Structure 1
Amino acid sequence: MKNVSVKFLGSGDAFGSGGRFQMCIFVDSEEISFLLDCGASSLIAMKRFGVSPSDVEAILITHLHGDHFGGIPFFILDSQLISRRTKPLIIAGPPGIEDRIHRAMEVLFPGLSQVKQRFRIEVTELPEGVPTKLGELLVTPELVTHASGAPAYALRVQLAGKTIVYSGDTEWTDRLVKVADGADLFICEAYFYDKRIKFHLDYQT
């Protein structure tokens, strides 16, 4: 993909299976750099693999489970106190994401959500099926099948003349065919090789 690189910082599950970091994909281009999901271990993974939080301009979240969005409070804390970020940070995800982030921050670091940030945080709740412009990104969420207390999305992301689609967590749904149509890269979860469980895909499917 010309001018766009994709690095898997984490591809693990909520249980740390295989010692892998939780879900976090770093997409880097000349126009914008962003994360697809930000699981609880993502800040550690970023530092392990040499990705600076200051280089991340946006975080796109597929659904509101901790292994996919739980790293955001740590990312914000690092940005405020260590990386000393000054440029805005875009965070986007399903309806309810702003409240969930606020509550997670208060549980993990009481008072952090009330501290005046040295940088602006722009939180966008993505409506299903509606293309949304986020900086240099055009993001279209497609509803998938995964119980998370809020809508779960596959994300179709257009940037630099390319299209990346990421399934997030889901069991099989024909919506995946729709959202992935014509993509330059389709990233699809596979929780097991051949064992089928509810709300997830397996490799053979």
Structure 2
Amino acid sequence: MEVRILGSSGSVSGPTNPTSGYLVRSTNEAPVLVDCGPGVLSQLQQVTDPAGTHVLFSHLHADHCLDFPSLLVWRRFHPISPSTMKHDLIGPEDTPNHLGRLSSDEPDTVESFEDTFTFRAWRERQPEDIADLRVTPFHAVHPIQAYSLRMEERSTGTVVAYSGDSDWTEDLIECARDADLFLCEATWCDSSEGKAPGMHMSGREAGRAARLAGAKALVLIHIPPWGDPEAALDAARSEFEGPVSLGLAGDTWRL
């Protein structure tokens, strides 16, 4: 399995790092794009054909989905290589309505994307198979319907966990159980003390989740441009003795 960060900035894009987007590849299978925030499509074009990807959404906040209308344009209207088949799209149950409104030409109308994607809604802890990849959604604590995703390559047993956006929850420990790679948000950097509840985590909480889950490696993501990544790393390392790194656009793991 290969995992590449296309963007990992929290809430808004940074000067060199788009918002959330992660590309997961399994051998000889179509790649899977996990979230598609502003700036992600430009990065996607550099590494694969945007017309040939499946898409997963952890949730539908703008920094995780706003490049989707542009992805539709590419798939439908590219003059040389538009999409020639439907791919899977899996997300929260309101995905067709939410993204259909973003893509529509008229106010208060919803554009269907059934011509180019086959949609399925997440059901908590119910696995979804995309070729060799088995993806299990876990409840995340966020102001809207949101999920953390456990992605297992069935042929090898390799596991990548992705927190999405979430406040602390025991469900995240199950999502990341024994993961080979754990991509975990650390928006609040060193500490969640005094921060808005029900929104995000700190590096300390990310480290604690990795330790309790028995993850093999932790990558901190979703730190906004105004955050302190070094403080997030120090806080995570105070809780987790395994390898901890900061995930940025272009970072790639082959597992």
**TM-score normalised to structure 1 length:** 0.85
Q: Extract structure 1 runs of 4+ deviating beyond 6 A.
A: 108-112
Conserved 8 A contact 2:100-2:113? no
Conserved 8 A contact 2:37-2:64? yes
Partner Cα distance (1:38, 1:108) in 2: 23
1:12 corresponds in structure 2 to: 9
Aligned counterpart in structure 2 of residue 179 of structure 1, from 169, 175, 198: 175
Identity %: 27
SS in 2 for 1:45: helix
Partner Cα distance (1:89, 1:109) in 2: 27
Residue deviations 1:55-110 (CA, integer Å, cap 9, x gap)? 42x11110110111222111111111114110222110112112111111116999
1:126 corresponds in structure 2 to: 122
Q: How many residues align?
A: 196
1:43 corresponds in structure 2 to: 41
1:78 corresponds in structure 2 to: 74
Query: After the TM superposition, which residues 12-31 of structure 1 pair with which residues of structure 2 at under 5 Å, given as runs?
Result: 12-30=9-27, 31=29
1:170 corresponds in structure 2 to: 166
Conserved 8 A contact 2:101-2:110? no
Partner Cα distance (1:51, 1:112) in 2: 29
Conserved 8 A contact 1:32-1:136? no
Which one is further off, 16-25 or 107-116? 107-116
Q: Which residue type is aligned with residue 9 of structure 2? A: G
Partner Cα distance (1:185, 1:54) in 2: 27
**TM-score normalised to structure 2 length:** 0.70
Residue deviations 1:100-122 (CA, integer Å, cap 9, x gap)? 111111169999936894xx310
Q: Which residue type is aligned with residue 176 of structure 1? A: L
Q: Which residue type is aligned with residue 66 of structure 1? A: A
What are structure 1's unaligned runs of at least 5 residues? Answer: none
SS in 2 for 1:26: strand
SS in 1 for 2:185: coil
What are structure 2's unaligned runs of at least 5 residues? Answer: 206-255
